[in-house]
């Protein structure tokens, strides 16, 4: 018998139901399609795992969180757990047959504190590089190249753009 899962989007109230395994992402081919720019095209996969469910991060740009804790590869999830993907918060709902039937969420391969500190140090370095780039007198093209070059060290993106505003706040 195929397992299914039901997820409730805590921001929109929309309910998603999918047969496992199910891919969550921005792609039209995703089983659970989220219209969230912080979600990768193929962000995560939920699959049946030994009478439970497991969520797997598919190398997403912004990571997967279970009950506020970032996972680095996979985690066993249960009814009531909150999944964080981009800006979306999805609560696992339904009976225990649909989600894990355990009483405790088990994080497999959680991100160690050293890795989190390394990421924070990387982000601070990028902010410093951006401040230096902005303070230097450069052409607009050089400024943008330095700015987006620095950001690309911590954020993967396909495209980028910049909106400039004049003193009144209107787009230029």
pLDDT band at 141 (very low <50, low <70, confident <90, very high): confident
Digit-coded pLDDT (tens) for 75-105: 989 888 999 999 999 999 864 444 444 444 4
| Residue 48: DSSP 8-state | E
DSSP string, 117-172: HHHHHHHHHHHHHHHHHHHS---HHHHHHHHHHHHTTT---S------B-TTS-B-
Q: What is the pTM assigned to this prediction?
A: 0.57
- Residues 82, 11: contact at Cβ < 8 Å? no
| Residue 115: DSSP 8-state | H
């Amino acid at each position: 018998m195929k397992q299914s899962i039901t997820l409730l989007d805590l921001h929109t109230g929309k309910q998603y139901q999918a047969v496992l395994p199910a891919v969550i992402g921005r792609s039209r081919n995703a089983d659970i399609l989220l219209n969230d720019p912080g979600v990768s095209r193929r962000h995560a996969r939920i699959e049946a795992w030994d009478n439970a469910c497991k969520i797997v991060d598919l190398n997403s740009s912004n990571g997967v969180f279970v009950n506020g804790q970032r996972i680095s590869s996979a985690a066993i999830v249960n009814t009531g757990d909150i999944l964080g993907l981009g800006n979306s918060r999805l609560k696992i709902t339904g009976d225990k047959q649909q989600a894990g039937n355990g009483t405790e969420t088990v994080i497999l391969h959680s991100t160690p504190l050293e890795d989190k500190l390394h990421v924070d140090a990387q982000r601070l370095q990028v902010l410093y590089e951006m401040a230096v780039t902005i303070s230097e007198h450069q052409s607009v093209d050089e400024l943008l190249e330095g700015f987006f070059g620095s950001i690309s060290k911590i954020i993967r993106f396909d495209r980028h753009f910049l909106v400039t505003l004049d003193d009144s706040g209107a787009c230029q």
